[in-house]
Amino acid sequence: MSGETKRLPAFFYRLPSGREPVREWLKTFPATDRHIIGKDIKDVEFAWPLGLPLVRHLEHGLWDVRSSLPGGRAARVIFAVEHGCMVPLHGFVKKTQATPKADLDLARRRMRDLI
């Protein structure tokens, strides 16, 4: 991908305190998992718009990056597109078939902060 331009550059959501919760969440993973999730985010940046299996539209204004991790685990990064940028709002390890309401609600609140 050298020389290519990002079609949807990622800028992590930042709390008023300056913390970046998704970046902090990523740092809790082993290097192998971080690499997989980071590559998936990078793929979205360079190849947007994308659909399944990597990106799924959740609802108006929210999508998720769907990463498959070793051991059958699944990580999700919920993001919004704002002013031509990907804004990762929330990340979690998926344990159920449906996206948990609490995770979606948190992403919605953070998306409202962007507007």
> Which long-range contacts (C-beta less than 8 Å, at least 24 apart) are formed by 103-109?
103/76, 103/78, 104/58, 104/59, 104/62, 104/78, 107/62, 107/78, 107/80, 108/62
Each residue's pLDDT tens digit, 20-64: 999 999 999 999 999 999 999 999 999 999 999 999 999 999 999
Residue 2 pLDDT more than 60?
A: no
pLDDT value for 114: 85
pLDDT value for 4: 81
| CB neighbours of residue 86 within 10 Å | 24
DSSP, collapsed to helix, strand or coil, labels residue 33 as helix
The domain spans of the chain are 21-114
Token couple for 64: 């998720």
Average pLDDT of the residues in 66-72: 97
Query: Do 86 and 10 touch, CB atoms closer than 8 A?
Result: yes
Each residue's pLDDT tens digit, 85-114: 999 999 999 999 889 999 999 999 999 998
Residue 115 pLDDT more than 80?
A: no
